[in-house]
Protein backbone atom coordinates (compact mmCIF):
# COMPACT_ATOMS: atom_id res chain seq x y z
CA UNK A 1 0.00 0.00 0.00
CA UNK A 2 1.35 3.42 -0.94
CA UNK A 3 2.14 6.00 1.73
CA UNK A 4 -0.63 8.37 0.69
CA UNK A 5 -3.39 5.77 1.07
CA UNK A 6 -5.06 6.56 4.38
CA UNK A 7 -7.56 3.68 4.50
CA UNK A 8 -7.92 0.24 2.93
CA UNK A 9 -11.39 -0.02 1.36
CA UNK A 10 -13.53 -3.12 1.55
CA UNK A 11 -14.69 -4.75 -1.69
CA UNK A 12 -18.19 -3.37 -1.12
CA UNK A 13 -16.88 0.19 -0.72
CA UNK A 14 -14.66 -0.18 -3.79
CA UNK A 15 -17.67 -1.17 -5.87
CA UNK A 16 -19.78 1.67 -4.45
CA UNK A 17 -16.93 4.12 -5.14
CA UNK A 18 -16.73 3.06 -8.79
CA UNK A 19 -20.52 3.20 -9.19
CA UNK A 20 -20.70 6.72 -7.75
CA UNK A 21 -17.77 7.88 -9.86
CA UNK A 22 -19.52 6.64 -12.97
CA UNK A 23 -22.78 8.36 -11.96
CA UNK A 24 -20.94 11.57 -11.06
CA UNK A 25 -19.43 11.95 -14.52
CA UNK A 26 -22.79 13.29 -15.68
CA UNK A 27 -22.24 16.30 -13.41
CA UNK A 28 -19.33 18.69 -13.38
CA UNK A 29 -15.92 17.19 -12.64
CA UNK A 30 -12.29 18.26 -12.74
CA UNK A 31 -9.47 15.87 -13.59
CA UNK A 32 -5.71 16.06 -13.24
CA UNK A 33 -3.48 17.09 -10.37
CA UNK A 34 -3.45 20.84 -11.00
CA UNK A 35 -7.19 21.18 -11.61
CA UNK A 36 -8.15 19.03 -8.63
CA UNK A 37 -5.70 20.78 -6.30
CA UNK A 38 -7.18 24.16 -7.31
CA UNK A 39 -10.74 22.87 -6.86
CA UNK A 40 -9.95 21.64 -3.34
CA UNK A 41 -8.16 24.85 -2.35
CA UNK A 42 -11.01 27.02 -3.67
CA UNK A 43 -13.61 24.96 -1.81
CA UNK A 44 -15.35 23.80 -5.00
CA UNK A 45 -14.65 20.06 -4.65
CA UNK A 46 -17.45 17.98 -3.15
CA UNK A 47 -15.63 14.63 -3.37
CA UNK A 48 -12.21 13.51 -4.65
CA UNK A 49 -11.24 10.17 -6.19
CA UNK A 50 -7.54 9.21 -6.09
CA UNK A 51 -5.83 6.41 -8.03
CA UNK A 52 -3.76 3.99 -5.95
CA UNK A 53 -1.15 3.19 -8.61
CA UNK A 54 0.33 6.64 -9.15
CA UNK A 55 4.09 6.69 -9.64
CA UNK A 56 5.97 8.50 -8.31
CA UNK A 57 3.73 8.64 -5.26
CA UNK A 58 4.94 12.16 -4.43
CA UNK A 59 2.67 13.48 -7.19
CA UNK A 60 -0.49 12.80 -5.19
CA UNK A 61 0.75 12.64 -1.59
CA UNK A 62 -0.57 16.15 -0.91
CA UNK A 63 -4.12 15.40 -2.07
CA UNK A 64 -5.36 13.41 0.99
CA UNK A 65 -3.73 15.94 3.33
CA UNK A 66 -5.29 18.86 1.50
CA UNK A 67 -8.68 17.13 1.48
CA UNK A 68 -8.51 16.57 5.24
CA UNK A 69 -7.49 20.18 5.81
CA UNK A 70 -10.40 21.49 3.71
CA UNK A 71 -12.90 18.81 4.93
CA UNK A 72 -13.37 17.33 1.47
CA UNK A 73 -14.18 13.61 1.49
CA UNK A 74 -12.06 11.37 -0.71
CA UNK A 75 -11.80 7.76 -1.79
CA UNK A 76 -9.47 5.54 -3.76
CA UNK A 77 -9.70 3.73 -7.08
CA UNK A 78 -7.34 0.85 -7.86
CA UNK A 79 -5.76 2.13 -11.09
CA UNK A 80 -5.34 5.33 -13.08
CA UNK A 81 -6.88 3.61 -16.11
CA UNK A 82 -9.97 2.57 -14.17
CA UNK A 83 -10.31 6.08 -12.74
CA UNK A 84 -10.12 7.66 -16.20
CA UNK A 85 -12.54 5.15 -17.72
CA UNK A 86 -15.17 5.47 -14.98
CA UNK A 87 -14.92 9.26 -15.06
CA UNK A 88 -15.57 9.18 -18.83
CA UNK A 89 -12.25 10.79 -19.76
CA UNK A 90 -10.97 8.31 -22.33
CA UNK A 91 -7.48 8.55 -20.82
CA UNK A 92 -5.76 7.74 -17.54
CA UNK A 93 -5.73 10.20 -14.67
CA UNK A 94 -4.41 10.33 -11.13
CA UNK A 95 -7.25 12.27 -9.49
CA UNK A 96 -10.80 13.40 -10.21
CA UNK A 97 -12.84 15.90 -8.21
CA UNK A 98 -16.62 16.09 -8.31
CA UNK A 99 -17.66 19.74 -8.37
CA UNK A 100 -21.38 19.35 -8.95
CA UNK A 101 -23.46 16.18 -9.20
CA UNK A 102 -26.93 14.75 -8.70
CA UNK A 103 -25.37 12.12 -6.43
CA UNK A 104 -24.22 14.46 -3.62
CA UNK A 105 -26.32 12.63 -0.99
CA UNK A 106 -24.84 9.29 -2.07
CA UNK A 107 -21.34 10.79 -2.00
CA UNK A 108 -21.91 12.01 1.57
CA UNK A 109 -23.09 8.51 2.53
CA UNK A 110 -19.95 6.98 1.01
CA UNK A 111 -17.81 9.55 2.84
CA UNK A 112 -19.44 8.59 6.14
CA UNK A 113 -18.75 4.89 5.55
CA UNK A 114 -15.11 5.61 4.70
CA UNK A 115 -14.78 7.80 7.80
CA UNK A 116 -15.95 4.83 9.88
CA UNK A 117 -13.13 2.72 8.44
CA UNK A 118 -10.56 5.36 9.39
CA UNK A 119 -11.46 5.10 13.08
Domain that holds residue 45: 11-118
pTM (2 decimals)?
Answer: 0.90
The torsion angles phi and psi of 63, rounded to 5 degrees, stand at -65, -50
Does residue 42 lie in a domain region?
yes
pLDDT tens, position by position, 61-82: 999 999 999 999 999 898 999 9
For the chain, residues with pLDDT lower than 70 are 1-7, 119
Number of separate domains in the chain: 1
Q: What is the CATH number of the domain that holds 103?
A: 3.30.1330.30
Q: What is the pLDDT of residue 93?
A: 95
Q: What is the pLDDT of residue 39?
A: 96
Across 4-116, where does the E strand assignment appear?
28-31, 47-51, 74-77, 95-100
Distance CA 30, CA 69 (A): 19
Does residue 3 lie in a domain region?
no
Does residue 1 lie in a domain region?
no
Amino acid sequence: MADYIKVQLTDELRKKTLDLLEKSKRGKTKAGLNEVTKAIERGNAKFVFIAEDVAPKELVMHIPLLCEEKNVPFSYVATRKELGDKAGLGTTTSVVAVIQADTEAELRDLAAKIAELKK
